[in-house]
Amino acid sequence: MCAVDSSGARPRHRSLETATLTPTRPRGTRARRLAALAAILTACLAGPAAASATPPGAVASWGREAVRADTKTACIYTRNDLRLLRGFQRRVGRSFSCALVFNDAAPGWRGWIEPWVIVHPDPRFRWDEWVAATPGRRLVVTQALIPASVPADWRRRGARGEYDRYARALARRMVSAGLGDSIIRLGHEMNGT
């Protein structure tokens, strides 16, 4: 909001008695907000990592496996299609042991807890079989925070724990399909989609 008097000139001091409030958007406001958000996210993500960083080459304990702190894994997204993955691997001359898939279009809880990567009838989309075929492969599943069919008060219901059983069911289903080491990117859009 920017205060402007009736002549259109900006007053030196904003006063509600003498000024008419006219909504305006200063130039670059969106860009500044996005830059500020990027800086905050970078600080939030890098801050804890920098504070607890393990020296290069040192081994950090993470869950049940020891991982070198400076290792990285190339993870690939191929529009959820194994055929595209195989074609890309041939083209670049290397294989990938990590793949990213999206299960964020589930219309209801049934599709949310039974990810298509496990139940799809077309072998091109059976990522559980891809993981099982070679030890060390990992799947990153992008999962919507909630399915599309939840009621408008889903936040209140979720806070009360009404949806906990679905998260447990998804975890059990992933483990039973041999995908227990998968990474679930839950609510990746941060807006309920």
pLDDT 10s digits, 94-110: 999 999 999 877 789 99
Q: How many Cβ atoms are within 10 Å of 76's Cβ, its own excluded?
A: 16
Residue 121 has pLDDT above 80, yes or no: yes
Q: Does a structural domain hold residue 58? A: no
Predicted local confidence at residue 107, as pLDDT: 84
Q: Do 164 and 86 belong to one domain? A: yes
Q: Do 82 and 46 belong to one domain? A: no
Report pLDDT digits (tens) over 125-149: 999 999 999 999 999 999 988 888 8
Helices (H) and strands (E) in the chain, counts: 7, 8
Q: Do 104 and 44 belong to one domain? A: no
Q: Looking at residue 53, what DSSP letter applies?
A: P
| 179's tokens | 């995908």
Q: Do 18 and 95 belong to one domain? A: no
Residue 104 to residue 101: CA distance in whole angstroms:
9
Give whichever of 12-16, 28-32, 61-65 has the largest mean pLDDT.
28-32
Tell me which residue range forms the domain holding 158.
72-186
Reference 112, options 140, 146, 80, 139; nearest CA is 146
Q: Does a structural domain hold residue 26? A: yes
Instruction: Answer whether 140's CB lies under 8 Å from 102's CB.
Output: no
Which phi and psi angles does 61 have, rounded to 5°? -85, 130
- Report the SS3 class of residue 65: strand
Q: Does a structural domain hold residue 11? A: yes
Mean per-residue pLDDT of the chain = 75
Instruction: Report the predicted TM-score, pTM, of the whole model to 2 decimal places.
Output: 0.62
Instruction: Answer whether 112's CB lies under 8 Å from 163's CB.
Output: no
